[in-house]
Amino acid sequence: MAIKEINPHHFEIFAGKQLIAYISYDNGEFVTQPWVVMVNGNEIFRYTTFARCHRFIQWHYKDGTLPLPAPAQFTEVPTIAEISFYDQEALVNGELVASISFDDENHENLYWRVLVNNKEIFRDITPERCQSYIKQQYQQCTLPVQEPFEEPCTTGNEIMAQIATECEKQGLELLDDGIYRDDAGL
């Protein structure tokens, strides 16, 4: 098993290429056991030390009791690109699979949300937890498929056709050098 430190308060645990769990620090007010083991966005264990949480993962992974899907060929995890402090994107081969954004309208603790096709699918207290959620869901093929971005079709010809139509409705004449009404330029 390999540990990847995302920051001093968030660690991802890998078995080969598979992200099997993540350990995150919960700095809530009345929390006596701040280290949390999470799998698929669900808290499964909590303790006072990181080491005990890591040992929990090792034991249950070896024992086969860690709640994971059936073994399969796991793909690489998405890479996270930080667009700004409040927005991040999860990318696979340059294609967007999900985005993470900060929701300042939420007055609970769950400020960060995962969006796929502009629909919220998950919410948590840190962007790192959202990142790990996306990575696990993507590897397990349970992340909804992101629809490709379609550029709106507005060419210069379409815009000129709309202008010409509106000019005709108003009784105006559209020529190469301007718009005219009764041979007077506007």
The pLDDT, as a whole number, for residue 122 is 92
Please report, for residues 156, 159, 185, the alpha-carbon distance to residue 165 in angstroms, rounded to integers and kept in the order given: 14, 10, 18
Which tokens hold the place of 133? 């959620």
- Amino acid at position 164, single letter: A
The pLDDT, as a whole number, for residue 53 is 96
Please report, for residues 13, 23, 84, 96, 148, the alpha-carbon distance to residue 91 in angstroms, rounded to integers and kept in the order given: 20, 22, 15, 5, 12
At a CB cut-off of 8 Å and minimum separation 6, what does 35 contact? 23, 24, 25, 26, 46, 47, 48, 49, 50, 52, 53
The pLDDT, as a whole number, for residue 73 is 63
- Amino acid at position 103, single letter: D
User: What residue ranges in the chain does DSSP mark as E strands?
Assistant: 2-7, 10-15, 18-25, 35-39, 42-47, 79-84, 87-92, 95-102, 112-116, 119-124, 173-175, 178-181, 184-185
The pLDDT, as a whole number, for residue 90 is 92
The pLDDT, as a whole number, for residue 85 is 87
Tens digit of each residue's pLDDT, the chain (186 residues)? 899 999 999 999 998 888 899 999 998 878 899 999 999 888 999 999 999 999 999 999 999 898 876 655 667 788 999 999 899 999 988 889 999 999 888 767 778 999 999 899 999 888 999 999 999 888 888 888 878 766 666 666 777 788 888 888 888 887 778 878 777 777
The pLDDT, as a whole number, for residue 87 is 93
The pLDDT, as a whole number, for residue 153 is 63
| CB 128, CB 138: distance < 8 Å | no
pTM score, whole prediction: 0.66
